[in-house]
Amino acid sequence: MASNPSAGDSPDRIETLRAKIAAELPNVDFVLGYGRGFDPLHATPVTVRTEKDLDRLIFDPTCVQNLATSLYGLRGKRLGVVVKGCDSRSIVQLLQERLWERENLVVFGLPCEGVLDLAKLRVTMDIAEVKAVRFAGSVRDGTVVLTLPGGERELPSAGLLADKCLRCQYPNPLVSDHLIGPEIEPQGAEDTYADLAALEKLSTQERFDFWKRQMGRCIRCYACRNACPLCVCKHVCLADSREPHWLSAEATLQEKWLFQVMHALHLAGRCTECGECQRSCPMGIPILLLKRMMNRELKELFNYQAGVSLEAVPPLHTFLMEEDRIKDRGLLW
């Protein structure tokens, strides 16, 4: 494939990133970073082993993947990883849960203004026709200029950024060995859980019908599970277990739904809302809603947000005799 023009790398920053990685290469097995995918809208994770791989590195709003997802499968190695602010929260959580050792990780942190949600673009056009992409003005308030067969089309970028970016409070990596580029003021709006409120306005039957329709598209590919940086059971997942036999092999609504409930429950107090589950779903099922629902509960019950502090203990990893926000109704044994 011909190399594709990139969307809006800052030349200085990418050079700094390459130089920092080059300096660390002798200390790591390899570095996980972003390269250009098969077209200008797609980035793809790349492994940098030697200096000749450095040219492949890019960083721009198409770098949607959370590279922390690959870490658990590569434990035992000493790795470098390129992270955005949101991705760094997954690393914090992995370290908190001792799923990775800090000393075996070199983090290259990139403050990030936001990434594209290709699903939003796909609703309005055939994205396979996009020949080139550039950003005019800032990532948040500027425009995205797409080159299409019929000419250029300019769209406000705010409408194309991922929802998580619009409410992002952590644009700067929370853990990093090399912070590359100036830190950014958080520009995200306060998270009012408006998406959940809209869903909860529906009657129980309407909500049930909504989920039946959504889950009807599920093909049980488990991209949602495998793209999750904290879903570390992978191939020993209870969704695949025959003994005990929690889920059958049937592609029925109840099996699909049961898996999503399991996934959400197992991520309670752990999910950082990186959104990889929903982004990876080829059928566009809004499964992040379920995790957000759990997170809202966790926030209310334990005043806890996952992946923002290395020192914090996730609430379901410990217990307190008396929780601040949970009334024990004064009952005595």
Partner 1 sequence: MVDRFLKDSDLAVVTAAWARDFRVLAPVREGAAIVYRLFSEDMHPFLLRPPTSSAKEAILPQTENLFTYKYRKDQTDLTRTEVFLAEALPPEPTLILGPRPCDARGRHLLDRVFLERGVVDPQYKAHRAATLFVTVACTSMQNTCFCHWTGGALDDESGSDVLLHPVTIGGVGGYVAHAVTPAGEKLLANLPEAPAEKLAELAARRAATPEPEPAPDLAGIADAFLAVFDDLDFWTDQSARCLSCGVCTYLCPTCSCFNITDENHGMSGRRLRTWDTCMSALYTLEGSGHNPRISRAHRLRNRVGHKFSYHPREFPEAATAPSGCEFSCTGCGRCIKSCPVAVDIRQIVLDVLAKAAEKAPDKAGGAK
Where does this chain bind partner 1 (CB under 8 A)?
Answer: 1, 32, 37-39, 42-47, 49, 65, 69-70, 73, 118-120, 122-123, 126, 128-130, 149, 213, 216-217, 219-223, 225-227, 234-235, 240, 242, 245, 248-252, 276, 279-280, 282-284
Q: In what order do the strands lie in the sheet with 151-156?
A: 132-136, 143-148, 151-156
Closer CB to partner 1, residue 223 or residue 262?
223
Edge to edge, the sheet with strand 30-36 lists: 43-48, 30-36, 79-83, 105-109, 178-179
Cβ-contact 188, 168 below 8 angstroms:
yes
Work out how close the CB of 251 gets to partner 1 at its nearest, in angstroms, rounded to a whole number.
4
Minimum CB distance to partner 1 smaller for 119 or for 145: 119
Write down the residue that tokens 């009657």 correspond to.
Answer: 203
- Distance in angstroms (rounded) separating the CA atoms of residues 136 and 121: 17
Q: Where are the alpha helices (DSSP H) in the chain?
A: 11-24, 85-96, 118-124, 163-166, 194-200, 204-215, 223-226, 253-266, 276-280, 288-302
Instruction: For the CB of residue 198, give the shortest distance to partner 1 in the complex, in Å.
Output: 15
We find the least distance from the C-beta atom of residue 267 to partner 1, in angstroms, to be 17
Give 103's contacts (C-beta < 8 A, 6+ positions apart).
none
Q: Would you say 271 and 298 are in contact if contact means Cβ atoms under 8 Å apart?
A: no
Q: Which is nearer to partner 1, 281 or 298 (CB)?
A: 281
Q: Which is nearer to partner 1, 17 or 46 (CB)?
A: 46
Token pair for 1:
């494939």
Query: What is the spatial distance between Cα 268 and Cα 314, in angstroms, rounded to a whole number?
Result: 9
Task: Give the shortest CB-312-to-partner 1 separation in angstroms.
Answer: 28
Nearer to partner 1, 51 or 183 (CB): 51
Classify residue 312 as exposed, middle or buried by CB count within 10 Å of its CB (0-12, 13-18, 19+).
Answer: middle
Report, in Å, the least distance between residue 217 CB and partner 1: 5
Is the Cβ of residue 100 or residue 222 nearer to partner 1 in the bound state? 222
Contact 308, 205 (CB under 8 A): no
Would you say 126 or 154 has its CB closer to partner 1? 126
- CA separation for the pair 269, 261 (Å, rounded): 14
Min. distance of Cβ 32 from partner 1 in angstroms? Answer: 8
Q: Where are the alpha helices (DSSP H) in 70-111?
A: 85-96
Give least dist CB 235 to partner 1, A.
Answer: 4
Residue with smaller CB distance to partner 1, 16 or 47: 47
C-beta of 257: minimal distance to partner 1 in Å?
Answer: 15
